Amino acid sequence: MAATLTANDDVMRRLLPRLPAGVWSLSGFTVVWFGGIVIPLLAIILVSFFQGRGIRINLDPTFLQYERFFSYGGSDLLARSVRIAATITFIELMIAFPFALWLAKGCKNNMVRLLTFTALTVPFFLSPAARVIVWRSVFGINGVVNQALLATGAVDEPVTWLIFSEFAVHFGFLGAFFPTMVWPIFLSISLIDNDFLEASNDLGANRFRTLVHVIFPLALPGVVAGIVFTFIPMLGDTVVAQHMGGNNVLMLSAQVQSLIGVSNFLVAAALAAVVLGIMLAFQVLLWAALKPVGGLNEVFANLRR
């Protein structure tokens, strides 16, 4: 791909119509990125089809690593991880979209907006573990919630499923991944020209129609980015499943860590290949879902007025 970009001007002009500017830096960057990053990452997939122990690998093609991965409960793990991450991503989207819309178009007080942004940013600086561990003492058997429930007589015995359970894992993710959804959606909504909304109104559309037919399509790049910003780091998160789930709810990255921890690089590579497959499938789904608006490819295309 990259090589053809630099081949000659004609090819370039055909690939990059109307904008020769930036072609050189783009193609240079692309060559470096693909050579230095994408190829090593693809090599991981290749390696997953070999055998060996630790870093000693013999070039003997096999599906052994995949068999191993699935025989250790890998399919449950994947299903569970994707289910939890997708659930939370969906909830975050439902909450974040109106919130971002309000922040971008509805909030009239600049100070409130500044403070909200600050509030959405500061948690990024904190060690994720620190934020999560606190909940253990809130939801634990002797925790604040249980003490309150016992005191009010709502329950006779402490509720044990508040922590080290799927509920706890969901709850732990909920707060932590809110800002990552709000930010990109806010960014895309704030770029929508107010004239569009006014025009929609003048043409007789009510709020709902404006939302569905004007705002949402224009905010789509932000929504897609928000889903990526939330879903991907959530799949990569280790602390919530560890501290809130107490390892009762094992998730993907904990499994990756344990495989790498014992030099099981090949099964880890197989797992990575499976994850890559899921991600690509996810993109196909997204593409299908976005087909009415021109497919995923069109989401990041230039706006044509």
Partner 1 sequence: MRTSKHLYFHLSRRNFIKCAAAGTAIVGAPAILKGLTRKAIAQDENTIRLLITGPTLIPGDWSAFERETGFKMEDTVIKDDPGIFLTEILVNDGGDRFDIIAALTGAEQDLIDGEAIKPIETSAVPNWGGIPESITQMPYLQRDLAPEGGYVWGVPLAMNADSFGYLPEKLNEPRPPEEASWSLVYESEKTLGRSSTGDNYIYLWEALAYLKNTGQLEVGDLLDPSPEEAAATADFLIERKQAGQFRNFWKIFDDQVSDMKNGEVDAIRCWEPAVREANKAGGDWVYANATEFYTKWMHACYIPTQVHDRGNLEQVHTALNWILSGSYAAGITPLRGYVTGRPDLAPQYAEENGMGPEVGVAIDEALAKVKFKFAKEDFWFSAVPSNLQEMQAQMDRVLNA
Partner 2 sequence: MTMTAHASETITYAQVRPPFWRRFMDGLPRGTGLFFGYGVLFILYLPIVWLMILSISGEPLTGIPGEWTLTWYEDVIYADIAQRDGEAYGSNFRVGDPLLLSIGLAFATSAACVIGALIVGPVLPRVKRRGPLLIGFLMPLMVPGIVAGVGLFMWYRLVINVKMGVWSLALAHFVWAFPFALLAMLVVASRFDTRLMEAAEDLGASRWQRFWQIEVPILKPGIFAAGFFGFLLSFNELPFSIFMRAGQDTLPLYLWIQSGAHNTTVPLIYAMSTLVTIVSIGLTFLAIKLAFGGGKDGKQ
Q: Categorise residue 52: left if φ over 0, alpha if ψ from -120 to 50, beta otherwise.
A: left
Q: What residues from 266 to 285 belong to the interface with partner 1 (CB under 8 A)?
A: 267
- Does position 263 bind partner 1 by CB under 8 A? yes
DSSP state of 293: G
Which tokens sit at 146? 């249980």
Binding piece for partner 1, criterion CB under 8 A, among 220-228, 264-272, 276-284, 294-302:
264-272
Member of 38, 62, 63, 72 binding partner 1 (CB under 8 A):
72
Contact in structure between 215 and 192 (CB atoms under 8 Å): yes
Q: What residues from 26 to 65 belong to the interface with partner 1 (CB under 8 A)?
A: 53-55
Spatial distance between the Cα atoms of 172 and 133, rounded to a whole number of angstroms: 10
For residue 81, the partner it binds in partner 1, partner 2, none, with Cβ less than 5 to 8 A by kind, is none
Quote the least distance from Cβ 45 to partner 2, whole Å.
9
Nearer to partner 1, 156 or 202 (CB): 156
With DSSP H G I counted as helix, E B as strand and the rest as coil, what are the percentages for the chain, rounded to 5?
75, 0, 25
* Cβ burial 146-185 (10 Å sphere, 16+ → b, else e): beebeeeeeeeeebeebbbbbbbbbbbbeebbbbbbbbbb
Which tokens sit at 9? 């001007």
Binding piece for partner 1, criterion CB under 8 A, among 182-190, 259-267, 276-284, 294-302:
259-267
Stated as kind and residue range, the H or E segment containing 58 is: strand 56-58
Contact in structure between 244 and 134 (CB atoms under 8 Å): no
Distances (CA, A) of 98 to 95, 151, 172: 6, 37, 22
Quote the least distance from Cβ 277 to partner 1, whole Å.
20
Stretch 73-112: interaction string toward partner 1, x if CB under 8 A: xx-xx-----------------------------------
Size of the site for partner 1 (CB under 8 A): 43
Distances (CA, A) of 296 to 46, 281, 286, 301, 304: 28, 13, 7, 9, 16
Quote the least distance from Cβ 192 to partner 2, whole Å.
8
For residue 44, the partner it binds in partner 2, partner 1, none, with Cβ less than 5 to 8 A by kind, is partner 2
For residue 176, the partner it binds in partner 2, partner 1, none, with Cβ less than 5 to 8 A by kind, is partner 2
Stretch 233-252: interaction string toward partner 1, x if CB under 8 A: ---------xx--xxx-x--
For residue 77, the partner it binds in partner 2, partner 1, none, with Cβ less than 5 to 8 A by kind, is partner 1
Q: What are phi and psi of 58, to 5 degrees?
A: -105, 145
Contact footprint for partner 1 (CB under 8 A):
9, 20-25, 53-55, 68, 72-74, 76-77, 133, 136-137, 140-143, 160, 163-164, 242-243, 246-248, 250, 255, 257-265, 267
